């Protein structure tokens, strides 16, 4: 094997970076479970016909092919062409319909898995990437309060992550549609697509596009902008929208829903998450029908959204029952990999071990192994030195792995000792009572931002 | 979407089955980390040239192809053909060489991930399957005591799993090779391949194969069998081997190593794991050079091994440095999926929630949401009823999900109450002090075997 280069678009983390990724995943999973969301994993592949939608995404689908397909292999022949899933929503929809008879609804699940897209790699955009999705799926109906629930759960989880500040930008499709219809715009989707460009183009350009491409009159285009430029981190968006003077039942419902989602999400975020009503947010995808949300990360706005989601009234259908859903996805790889690669986040050590037990001589290795097991019995991650080198060398071995404590077995009846190799302080050790300080027990995430 | 059928060879678990799989994965990870093994994840794909070895496995490799490869896409063109990894050893070897400058050796890692093989599906044999691997890799050298270490760590972890009894069968390639050379067999590999059939064929047939195919004389064939039929759950194999009267330094070393591994592994298993020295075990793969091991599960011997591993003196090389390794792999899907599918193991409930908080009316939902949050603040997984149905219906909702406790918010100033819906006992609830019994806090694995 000669020198090996990384594969573009398929990021892998060194052990210290993986500490960060696992901390993020564990925190998300822990909050989702506290709220009663069950974990599932779906297979990596779906029949191609379920993945291909005839849109842009189709080009990015990875197909799975046997290197040497054996014509006599029945199982192989009977398979439809298979592709790797490019998100966790398509597999969820299929899982729900396939297993509907065995699930209870509303079905509350989270899923943290990789997905694959053959797109051009760039920072935060990968060909294999892990995302964390939390959704609630109803059978036939799904009351609006689940929108509030799933968004607050994600807000609470994100608020605890060791990441740069995150912003949740909410909007509501009913609000936009009710407003646009109220000002006489009937073909809403293409207008939304233009308004979505407000983060890249200036206001005048967007107005001109609405007039020239979408054939709106100037006043209507201005009124579109008047809504889309409302953004507030408090409740003032409600009076701002009302002040625009458009009356519509759909608009009123959407405004009320948006207010409820924003209010509840804000109430659970205290540290790291900012909650904003941003009436420009539309989310390109056609299937959203109510709440929509996008997540951005401070200083990494060029990654565009690090997550998003919303309400879809028809996630799936089996012909008889329609399954509405509401959910939100967070890009674990998209946020974590750039932060780790830039050295902004790292694990406090690349190994779980809080303790290295030194070895006096190979003949006495068993003494160190027993001592290590005593510590492990009380939950202290411990490894034994790989060789009976001079103690100075064993300490340097621990230091290279950033293991904070070295334990020396007692010799000739003396007590074992423990050394904090950062401070150099060395004391007697009672192997059935000693504990490292709480902060040293597990690798922590160390941030520099 | 019409009725959807499962995809043969790509098993998925319902939430209750996933509880079992996660319990197994969490227990393995927890023991590996207590012993200081670091977790990594590798990408799902490797360059095809790294996967294809010219052997039987090649036919089973899944290739990844873009549905619509864009010739103008530089990143795509520059890629070598990619295949899905079929185990976690090939990716580990590549990861170690690629990142050698950033790792400390011996590199102790575990990895729990899916792998893909396009083989004919049958019980316990899947096209996508999760396995748990634990390995220690040295740079240049790797003392034998790491064989003992990695095998005892897996033995300790397996001993805690909620599975039917597991047997670890150990052997040692040096022992076999030293013995066979000592009795005049020089081409060891084909003889091993025949001896490996002892679990399916009777003794006489194997002797005949050795004589006819491998051209051994009858007496030598008998002496091969004399070794290969030794199997003991205690240390008696040592004297049994010695009694065969073959003298060889390699044999003596192998016997000593086997004794050390078996002895140490047995010392950490108290419940569910049996440790056996079984001198028939050879493991087909050519790269093992010392310790070899196979894992079987009681009542599921037809699945053949549910895991295995051993010592390989050249896991990888970068031209200058050779990386020896020792490791063992456990088949999570191979063991768990058949047990779940047969109803032998299940989760005590399909949701994390220990508590369902009832809702008095939609207007008062916020009261229930606040009460739920008080319980979550103390680590109790809690969900709020999806609708303000009559309480009887809300209790049945909890019952269908096997959630053990229903909490009723206090009305008109009265205290909230908690009902154990299994016993029907209902008492006042102090939301800042009450805890469910330890056994009810998380879903447990329920076994019927």
A380-437 pLDDT, tens per residue? 999 999 999 999 999 999 999 999 999 999 888 889 999 999 999 999 999 899 999 9
CB contact B11 to A (< 8 Å): yes
- Strand, helix or coil for residue B75: helix
Contact A121/B at CB under 8 A: yes
| Closest CA in chain A for residue B314 | A1
Q: Do residue A382 and residue B34 have CB atoms under 8 angstroms apart?
A: yes
Q: Are A307 and A331 in contact (CB under 8 A)?
A: yes
Q: Quick check: B125 contacting A, CB < 8 Å?
A: no
CA distance B129 to B131: 7
Is the Cβ pair A34, B108 closer than 8 Å?
no
Please name the residue ranges forming H helices in B361-405: 365-376, 391-400
Q: Which residue of A has its CA nearest to B138?
A: A386
- Suggest the residue from A118, A123, A346 to mutate for an interface test with chain B (most B CBs closer than 10 A): A118
The nearest alpha carbon in chain B to A38 belongs to: B351
**Cβ of A67 and B52 within 8 Å?**
yes
Candidates A36, A48, A98, A318, partner chain B, best to mutate (most B CBs within 10 A): A36
Whole-angstrom Cα distance, residue B249 to residue B254? 9
pLDDT of residue A70: 54
For residue B29, pLDDT beyond 50: yes
Does the distance separating the beta carbons of A353 and B44 come in below 8 Å? no
pLDDT score recorded for residue A74:
46
Q: Residue A71: is its pLDDT beyond 90?
A: no
- Which pLDDT belongs to residue B74? 46
Mean of pLDDT values over B111-118: 96
Per-residue confidence (pLDDT) for residue B75, from 0 to 100: 46
Q: Do A149 and B384 touch (CB under 8 A)?
A: yes
Q: Which of B34, B100, B140, B321 to mutate to test the interface with A (most CBs of A within 10 A)?
A: B34
Query: Which of A3, A70, A106 minimises the CB distance to B386?
Result: A106
pTM: 0.95
What is the b/e burial string over B201-225, where b = at least 16 CB atoms within 10 angstroms of the residue's CB? eeeeebbebbeeebebeeebbebbb
- Nearest C-alpha of chain B: how many angstroms from A116? 10
Of A394 and A58, more confident: A394
The ipTM is: 0.95
Q: Is the pLDDT of residue A205 over 50?
A: yes
Per the prediction, chain B carries an average pLDDT of 93
Residue B135's alpha-carbon distances to B30, B142, B280, B330, B377, in angstroms, are 15, 12, 24, 12, 39
- What confidence tier does B71 reach under pLDDT thresholds 50, 70, 90? very low
Residue in A2, A21, A98 nearest the CB of B318: A2
Residues of chain B found within 8 Å of residue A75, distances taken between Cβ atoms: 8-9, 120-121
pLDDT for res A285: 64
C-alpha–C-alpha distance, residues A60 and A129, integer Å: 14
Please check whether residue A271 is in contact with residue A156, taking contact to mean a CB–CB distance below 8 angstroms: no
Residue pair B134/B37 in contact by the 8 Å Cβ criterion:
yes
Please indicate if any CB of chain B lies within 8 Å of the CB of A139: no
Q: At what angle do helices B218-228 and B173-182 cross, to 10 degrees?
A: 160
Could B97 and A351 be called an inter-chain contact, meaning their C-beta atoms sit closer than 8 Å? Answer: no
- Contact B91/A at CB under 8 A: no
Buried b (16+ CB within 10 A) or exposed e, A185-199: beebeebbebbbebe
Nearest chain A residue (CA) to B363: A145
The answer to whether A436 and A354 are in contact (CB under 8 A) is yes
Residues of B in contact with A53 (CB under 8 A): none
- Among the residue ranges A146-155, B151-160, B412-421, the one predicted with the least confidence is B412-421
Q: Which of B14, B104, B386 sits opposite A102 (nearest CB)?
A: B14
Cβ partners under 8 Å of residue A158, min gap 6: A166, A168, A269, A272, A273, A295, A330
For chain A, what is the mean pLDDT?
Answer: 93
A77 at interface of B, judged by CB pairs closer than 8 A: no
| b/e per residue B172-194 (b: at least 16 CB within 10 A) | bbbbbbbbbebbebeebeebbeb
Angle at B181 between CA B178 and CA B186, to 5 degrees: 135
**Is residue B3 within 8 angstroms of chain A, CB to CB?**
yes
Partner A, chain B 101-120, Cβ-Cβ below 8 Å: 102-104, 106, 108-109, 114, 116, 118, 120
Question: What are all long-range contacts of B384-392, with beta carbons under 8 Å and residues at least 24 apart?
Answer: B384/A149, B384/B356, B384/B357, B384/B359, B385/B356, B385/B357, B385/B358, B385/B359, B386/A106, B386/A143, B386/A146, B387/A143, B387/B359, B387/B362, B388/B359, B388/B360, B388/B361, B388/B362, B388/B364, B391/B358
B40 to A18: CB separation less than 8 angstroms, yes or no: yes
pLDDT above 70 for B76: no
> Between the CA of residue A327 and those of A141, A153, A297, A354, what are the distances in Å?
15, 10, 19, 38
Confidence of residue B283 (pLDDT cuts 50, 70, 90): confident
Residue B38 has its nearest CB partner, among A63, A316, A351, at: A351
Confidence at residue A361, expressed as pLDDT on a 0 to 100 scale: 96
B128 touches chain A (CB under 8 A): yes
pLDDT in tens, B260-272: 999 999 999 988 9
Residues A145-170, mean pLDDT to the nearest whole number: 97
* Closest residue on chain A to B33 (Cα): A352
Strands A82-84 and A45-47, how do they pair? antiparallel
Tell me the three state secondary structure of residue A225.
helix
CA distance B413 to B432: 17
Burial status of residue B273 (CB atoms within 10 A of its CB: 0-12, 13-18, 19 or more)? buried
Count Cβ–Cβ pairs < 8 Å, chain A vs chain B.
243
Angle at A284 between CA A283 and CA A290, to 5 degrees: 45
Other beta carbons less than 10 A from residue A82's beta carbon: 21
Measured between its terminal Cα atoms, the distance across chain A in Å is 39
| Beta strand residue intervals within B32-151, DSSP E | 38-39, 45-47, 62-66, 82-84, 107-116, 128-137
Residues in contact with A202: Cβ distance below 8 Å, sequence separation at least 6, in sequence order:
none
Contacting B residues, span 353-412, partner chain A, CB-CB under 8 Å: 353, 362, 365, 376, 379-384, 386-387, 397, 400-401
The verdict on a CB contact (< 8 Å) between A61 and B66 is yes
What is the arithmetic mean of pLDDT over B342-346? Answer: 96
Residue B170 belongs to what H/E stretch? strand B166-172
Give the separation between CA A410 and CA A416, rounded to whole angstroms: 4
Cα torsion A368, A373, A378, A383 to 10°: value is: 70
Cross-chain CB nearest to A4 (options B15, B37, B98): B98
Q: What is the pLDDT of residue B2?
A: 61
Contact residues on chain B for A63, CB-CB shorter than 8 A? 64-67
Residue matched to tokens 């608020």: A159
- Tens of pLDDT, residue by residue over B382-399, are 999 999 999 999 999 999
**Which region among A209-213, A297-301, B194-198, B250-254 has the lowest average model confidence (pLDDT)?**
B194-198
> Within an 8 Å CB–CB cutoff, is residue A143 touching chain B?
yes
A227 in contact with B, Cβ within 8 Å: no
- In whole angstroms, what is the distance from residue B153 CA to residue B31 CA? 7
Residue A249 CB neighbour total at 10 angstroms: 10
pLDDT tens digit string along B230-252?
999 999 999 999 999 999 999 99
Half-sphere CA count of B243, side-chain side, radius 13 A = 8
Contact at CB, A12 and B95, closer than 8 angstroms: yes
Interface touch A75/B8, C-beta < 8 Å = yes
Please say if the pLDDT value at position B78 is more than 70: no
CB contact under 8 A, A64 and B64: yes
Q: Which 3 state secondary structure label does DSSP give A296? A: strand
Q: Tell how strand B38-39 and strand A38-39 pair up.
A: unpaired
Is some CB atom of chain A closer than 8 A to the CB atom of B48?
Answer: yes
Gyration radius of chain B's alpha carbons: 27
Supply the pLDDT for residue B440: 97
Q: Which two tokens stand for residue A363?
A: 């003949």
């Amino acid at each position: 094997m000669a020198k090996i280069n990384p594969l573009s678009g398929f990021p892998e983390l060194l052990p210290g970076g993986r500490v960060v990724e696992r901390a993020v995943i564990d925190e998300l999973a822990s909050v989702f479970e506290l709220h009663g969301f069950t974990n599932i994993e779906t297979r990596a592949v779906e029949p191609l016909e379920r993945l291909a939608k005839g849109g842009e995404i189709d080009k990015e689908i990875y197909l799975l092919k046997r290197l040497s397909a054996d014509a006599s292999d029945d199982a192989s022949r009977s398979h439809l062409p298979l592709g790797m899933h490019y998100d966790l929503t398509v597999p969820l929809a299929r899982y729900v319909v396939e297993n509907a008879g065995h699930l209870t609804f509303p079905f509350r699940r989270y899923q943290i898995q990789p997905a694959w897209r053959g797109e051009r790699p760039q920072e935060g955009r990968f060909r294999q990437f892990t995302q964390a999705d939390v959704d609630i799926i109803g059978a036939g109906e799904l009351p609006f309060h689940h929108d509030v629930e799933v968004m607050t759960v994600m807000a609470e989880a994100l608020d605890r992550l060791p990441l740069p500040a995150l912003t949740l930008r909410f909007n509501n499709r009913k609000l936009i549609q009710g407003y646009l219809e109220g000002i006489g715009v009937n073909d809403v989707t293409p207008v939304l697509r233009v308004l979505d460009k407000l983060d890249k183009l200036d206001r005048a350009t967007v107005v001109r596009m609405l007039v020239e491409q979408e054939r709106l009159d100037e006043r209507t285009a201005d009124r579109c902008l008047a809504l889309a430029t409302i953004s507030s981190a408090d409740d003032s968006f409600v009076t701002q929208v009302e002040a625009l003077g458009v009356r519509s039942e759909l608009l009123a419902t959407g405004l009320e829903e948006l207010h409820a989602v924003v209010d509840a999400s804000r109430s659970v975020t205290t540290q790291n998450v900012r909650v904003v009503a941003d009436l420009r947010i539309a989310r390109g995808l056609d299937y959203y029908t109510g709440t929509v949300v996008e997540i951005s990360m401070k200083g990494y706005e060029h990654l565009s959204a690090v997550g998003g989601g919303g309400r879809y009234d028809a996630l799936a259908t089996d012909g008889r029952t329609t399954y509405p859903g509401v959910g939100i996805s967070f890009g674990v790889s998209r946020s974590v990999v750039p932060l780790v690669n830039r050295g902004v986040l790292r694990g406090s050590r690349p190994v779980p071990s809080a303790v290295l037990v030194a070895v006096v001589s190979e003949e006495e290795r068993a003494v160190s192994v027993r001592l290590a097991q005593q510590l492990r019995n009380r939950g202290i991650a411990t490894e034994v030195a790989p060789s009976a080198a001079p103690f100075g060398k064993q300490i340097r071995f621990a230091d290279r792995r950033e293991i904070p404590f070295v334990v020396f077995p007692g010799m000739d009846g003396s007590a074992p000792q423990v050394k904090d190799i950062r401070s150099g302080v060395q004391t007697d050790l009672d192997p059935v009572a000693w504990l490292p300080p709480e902060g040293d027990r597990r690798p922590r995430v160390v941030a520099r931002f």
